[in-house]
């Protein structure tokens, strides 16, 4: 018989090793029944058999030549368990209560786990079991054998009928449920959580610092306090998924210099364009800027309804190639456009977004329309709440024409509709997760779109698709009724074709959100009135020297710059921060096994399973390291006396640093490399960064660059992608 230490260690590590104690004892006669048939033939096991049928576990017995031992509770045993609250039923994967009836048991979402408490891999005849022996069950619980001269107990259950041999193992009938609490001693029959288990668990999280007595204390506390408490909290706040409710009060504040930005806020003074003429063709019209379209609307050369029809038709024409639209909002768009036109006819002008169509990343709630989060699990989800960003755009007269693709649960560019493609080269994805907003803006299918970023989701698709994308400072834009990954890093921002358009959209959507405790009313410098000749900009070693020269031509002082900090890995801090937060927001999703249906099994499912083993202590240590990083980065900027700096926007370390610190960055296209034999192009980009709340500065610098270049005016060859691409015949 294995020792207690060895068996418990095996119980924690792997069931396949622990099960080898059961020799392959089974019925070998030609008329043998399998476990499923034996269970079904015994009236006293009708409830247990119904549960097996409900979960389809009975179909797994005997697979691949394996044998199993089943300790099946009788109907009477289950009734007693219901009466004495010995069995816990979980409903909706969160609500844990004592099972009260057979119906309660059969409808529980932990039914499979309950049944696995009664199944052991291997064949164990009662006469071969020894007193004190431990058995590892398929649920990872461990039960101890107790034997007297006449009786055999497994945990708190007595064996009533023993050794019913089957072709795929054997079955015993018992008088109690396994994994139960003995009402006389209040001791759990499952002994898997013990000192050895704690030793293994603490080693996994790099905290193997307790002696054996301390490990026993920990095991007892885990069972009597920790598990009870975390289950109660989980039931209270952790569902539904997505982090839409119950925000975390531990707020991240990037504003170490916030006093500079505490003056009363004022709106930007954007230029008014007059004498803009409608182009002769709709292709040129579709690529006009927000200010140009606004001028045409004010001069009655076009209507908002005209624009809705134009852009909706463009979306539909190419979406079978781009895979960028989740939901068309045509009815809503025509209603909003008609209202916008009516106001203009009455002499009421709401501002530069009045009558301008746009798209929203499909993590942003709009009443009456699906908000799918890009995942098949949520593809029929309707959140009948107005996100604040949608409210602000609606109040400004903007017209929503589509919900645009996001990578599933805001990861990359794969969603339940496929992979969103890059308009500059459809043989590659647009990256993500603001995949649809970037692709549609690049293709001239919307004048602008709203995306989000936690760790690169505006920066990467903007870079890949050759558009201008702004990731604002953290807290600049409210996020109520927007799916959350990490409450201390999530940001909403505009994806446009020019920096001026980004400034206009940001000015509309920024400001305090009553439901988003991290949002702020920040006094920003007006980018349209910043004198860039008075700015000093650092350039990193990976900066594009063409951008350096272009900014210098606008009398910007350009100096070499090094981004110095002592934190060894910003990437690890970001991963810990983001992954723990994501798992808290999608705890139910994982526990319910919905991650098995996720679109890319190498992405969130793998990431979040590993995240289960990040301790709360290590999460807090990561936040302390994050604070140190933020202070050092801002001190570096201040010490070198620069107003902003430029570098490669897609460098992963800079993406991590920028999001951890809460810095704004605007991504601008700075060139296009040819792909031989095609009109496809590889986009070249630059990121302009600044300290938190210096959004006006990065916008002003981007506008200055775009005033002397035309990369942002280039159009992707969606209609002629390359040899053999007869996509539009």
Mark whether 157 and 296 lie in a shared domain: no
- Residue of 472, 471, 480, 484 whose CA lies nearest to 517: 480
Q: Work out the pLDDT band at 16, boundaries 50, 70, 90.
A: very low
Instruction: Tell me the percentage of the chain whose pLDDT exceeds 70.
Output: 92
Mark whether 131 and 38 lie in a shared domain: yes
Mark whether 186 and 281 lie in a shared domain: no
Q: Could you tell me if residue 243 is inside a domain?
A: no
Please tell me the predicted confidence (pLDDT) of residue 231.
85
Q: Are 106 and 90 in contact (CB under 8 A)?
A: no
Mark whether 441 and 562 lie in a shared domain: yes
Name the domain boundary from 192, 217, 249. 192
Cis peptide preceding 240, ω within 30 of 0: yes
Per-residue pLDDT at 430 exceeds 70:
yes
Task: Report, as residue numbers or ranges, the catalytic residues.
Answer: 361, 433, 457
Q: How many CB atoms lie within 10 A of CB 248?
A: 17
Please tell me the predicted confidence (pLDDT) of residue 390.
99
Average pLDDT for the chain: 91
Phi, psi of 466 (to 5 degrees): 70, 35
Paired residues of 415 in beta bridges: 418
Mark whether 597 and 701 lie in a shared domain: yes
Question: 43 is in which domain, residue-wise?
Answer: 4-192
Please tell me the predicted confidence (pLDDT) of residue 27.
74
Q: Could you tell me if residue 15 is inside a domain?
A: yes
Using CA atoms, how far residue 644 sits from 186, 640, 696, in Å, is: 64, 10, 11
Mark whether 585 and 689 lie in a shared domain: yes
Mark whether 344 and 466 lie in a shared domain: yes
Q: Are 502 and 268 in contact (CB under 8 A)?
A: no
Name the domain boundary from 192, 217, 246. 192
Mark whether 688 and 551 lie in a shared domain: yes
pLDDT tens digits, residue range 225-247? Answer: 888 888 889 888 988 999 999 88
Please tell me the predicted confidence (pLDDT) of residue 728.
42
CA–CA dist 592, 589 (Å, integer): 5
Per-residue pLDDT at 21 exceeds 60:
no
Mark whether 334 and 478 lie in a shared domain: yes
The better pLDDT of the pair 385, 26 is held by 385
Using CA atoms, how far residue 712 sits from 447, 494, 501, 683, in Å, is: 13, 15, 11, 11
User: Which two structure tokens, joined as six digits, stand for 601?
Assistant: 């099994």
Name the domain boundary from 167, 192, 217. 192
Paired residues of 682 in beta bridges: 673
Taking residues 671-688, what's their average pLDDT?
93
For the chain, give the number of residues: 729
Which pairs from 1-7 meet CB under 8 Å and 24+ separation?
Answer: 1/130, 1/132, 1/133, 2/134, 4/132, 4/134, 5/196, 7/133, 7/134, 7/136, 7/142
Q: Are 101 and 46 in contact (CB under 8 A)?
A: no
Output the DSSP codes for 263-286: SPP----PPPP-S----SSHHHHH
Per-residue DSSP letter, 297: H
Q: In CATH, what number is assigned to the domain containing residue 658?
A: 3.90.1300.10
- Residue of 140, 149, 166 whose CA lies nearest to 36: 166
Taking residues 21-30, what's their average pLDDT?
58
Lowest-pLDDT range of 25-29, 225-229, 664-668: 25-29
Three-state SS letters, 607-635: HHHHHCCCCHHHHHHHHHHHHHHHHHHHH
Paired residues of 537 in beta bridges: 558, 644
Please tell me the predicted confidence (pLDDT) of residue 258.
63
Please tell me the predicted confidence (pLDDT) of residue 220.
87
Q: Could you tell me if residue 226 is inside a domain?
A: no
The tally of CA atoms less than 13 A away on the side-chain side of residue 289 is 21
Give the residue ranges of DSSP H helices in 484-615: 499-509, 545-552, 570-585, 587-591, 604-611
Q: What is the pTM of this model?
A: 0.88
pLDDT tens digits, residue range 61-108? Answer: 766 678 999 999 999 999 999 998 888 898 887 788 899 999 999 999
Mark whether 285 and 151 lie in a shared domain: no
Q: Could you tell me if residue 209 is inside a domain?
A: no
User: Which two structure tokens, joined as six digits, stand for 653?
Assistant: 């370390």
Q: Could you tell me if residue 218 is inside a domain?
A: no
Give the residue ranges of DSSP H helices in 485-552: 499-509, 545-552
- Residue of 363, 327, 361, 374 whose CA lies nearest to 451: 361
Q: Could you tell me if residue 99 is inside a domain?
A: yes
Q: Are 89 and 105 in contact (CB under 8 A)?
A: yes
Please tell me the predicted confidence (pLDDT) of residue 63.
65
pLDDT tens digits, residue range 328-337? Answer: 999 999 999 9
Taking residues 452-462, what's their average pLDDT?
99
User: Which two structure tokens, joined as six digits, stand for 501?
Assistant: 């358009």
Q: In CATH, what number is assigned to the domain containing residue 27?
A: 2.30.180.10
Split into its structural domains, the chain has a count of 2
Instruction: Tell me the percentage of the chain whose pLDDT exceeds 90.
Output: 79
Mark whether 154 and 29 lie in a shared domain: yes
The better pLDDT of the pair 385, 260 is held by 385
Q: Could you tell me if residue 71 is inside a domain?
A: yes
Mark whether 468 and 560 lie in a shared domain: yes
pLDDT tens digits, residue range 130-150? Answer: 999 999 999 989 999 999 999
Q: Could you tell me if residue 94 is inside a domain?
A: yes
């Amino acid at each position: 018989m294995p020792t207690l230490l060895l068996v418990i260690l095996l119980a924690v590590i792997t069931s396949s090793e622990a099960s080898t104690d059961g020799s392959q004892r089974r019925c070998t006669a030609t008329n043998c029944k399998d476990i499923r048939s034996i269970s079904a033939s015994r009236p006293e096991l009708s409830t247990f058999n119904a549960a097996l049928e409900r979960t389809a576990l009975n179909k797994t017995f005997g697979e691949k030549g394996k044998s199993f031992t089943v300790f099946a509770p009788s109907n009477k045993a289950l009734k007693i368990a219901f009466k004495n609250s010995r069995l816990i039923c979980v409903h909706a994967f969160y609500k844990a209560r004592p099972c009260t009836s057979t119906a309660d048991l059969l409808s529980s979402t932990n039914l499979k786990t309950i049944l696995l408490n009664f199944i052991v891999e291997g064949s164990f005849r009662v006469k071969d079991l020894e007193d004190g022996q431990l058995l590892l069950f398929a649920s990872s619980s461990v039960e101890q054998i107790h034997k007297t001269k006449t009786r055999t107990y497994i945990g708190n259950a007595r064996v009533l009928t023993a050794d019913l041999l089957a072709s795929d193992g054997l079955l015993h009938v018992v008088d109690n449920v396994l994994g139960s609490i003995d009402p006389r001693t209040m001791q759990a029959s499952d002994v898997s959580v013990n000192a050895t288990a704690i030793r293994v668990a603490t080693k996994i999280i790099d905290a193997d610092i307790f002696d054996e007595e301390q490990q026993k204390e920990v095991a007892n506390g885990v069972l009597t306090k920790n598990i009870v408490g975390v289950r109660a909290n989980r039931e209270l706040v952790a569902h539904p998924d997505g982090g839409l409710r119950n925000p975390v009060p531990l707020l991240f504040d990037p504003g170490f210099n916030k006093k500079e930005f505490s003056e009363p806020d004022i709106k930007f003074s954007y230029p008014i364009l007059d004498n803009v003429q409608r182009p002769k063709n709709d292709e040129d019209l579709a690529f006009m800027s927000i200010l140009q379209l606004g001028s045409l609307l004010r001069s009655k050369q076009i209507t908002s309804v005209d624009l809705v029809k134009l852009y909706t038709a463009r979306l539909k024409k190419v979406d079978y190639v781009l895979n960028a639209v989740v939901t068309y909002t045509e009815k809503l768009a025509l209603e909003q456009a008609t209202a916008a036109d009516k106001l203009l006819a009455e002499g009421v002008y709401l501002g530069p977004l009045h009558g301008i169509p746009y798209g929203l990343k499909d993590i942003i709630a709009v009443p009456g329309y699906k908000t799918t989060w890009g995942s098949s699990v949520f593809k029929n989800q309707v959140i009948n709440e107005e996100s604040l960003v949608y409210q602000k755009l609606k109040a400004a007269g903007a017209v929503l024409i589509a919900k645009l693709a996001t990578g599933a649960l805001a990861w990359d560019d794969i969603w339940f509709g496929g992979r969103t493609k890059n308009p500059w080269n459809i043989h590659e994805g647009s990256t993500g997760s603001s995949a649809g907003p970037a692709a549609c803006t690049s293709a001239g299918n919307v004048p602008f779109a709203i995306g989000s970023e936690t760790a690169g989701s505006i920066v990467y698709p903007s870079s890949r698709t050759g558009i201008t994308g702004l990731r604002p400072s953290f807290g600049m834009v409210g996020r109520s009724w927007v799916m959350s990954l990490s409450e201390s890093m999530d940001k909403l921002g505009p994806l446009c074709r020019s920096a001026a358009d980004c400034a206009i959209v940001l000015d509309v959507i920024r400001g305090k959100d009553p439901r988003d405790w991290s949002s702020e009313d920040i006094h920003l410098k007006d980018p349209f009135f910043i004198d860039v000749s008075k700015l000093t900009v650092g350039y990193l070693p990976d900066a594009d020297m063409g951008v350096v020269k272009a900014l210098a031509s606008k009398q910007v002082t350009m100096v070499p710059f090094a981004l110095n900090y002592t934190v060894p890995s910003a990437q690890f801090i970001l991963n810990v921060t983001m992954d723990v937060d994501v798992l808290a927001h999608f705890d139910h999703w994982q526990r319910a096994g919905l991650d098995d249906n996720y679109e890319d099994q190498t992405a969130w499912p793998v990431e979040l399973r590993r995240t289960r083993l990040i301790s709360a202590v290590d999460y807090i240590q990561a936040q302390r390291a994050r604070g140190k990083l933020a202070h050092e980065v801002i001190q570096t900027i201040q010490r070198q006396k620069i107003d902003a700096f430029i570098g490669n926007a897609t460098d992963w370390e800079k993406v991590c640093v920028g999001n951890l610190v809460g810095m704004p960055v605007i991504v601008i296209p700075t060139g296009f490399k040819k792909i031989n034999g095609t009109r496809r192009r590889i986009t070249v980009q630059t990121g302009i960064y600044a300290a938190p709340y210096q959004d006006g500065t990065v916008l002003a610098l981007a506008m200055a660059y775009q005033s002397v270049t035309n990369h942002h005016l280039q159009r992707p060859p969606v209609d002629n992608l390359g040899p053999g691409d007869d996509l539009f015949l």
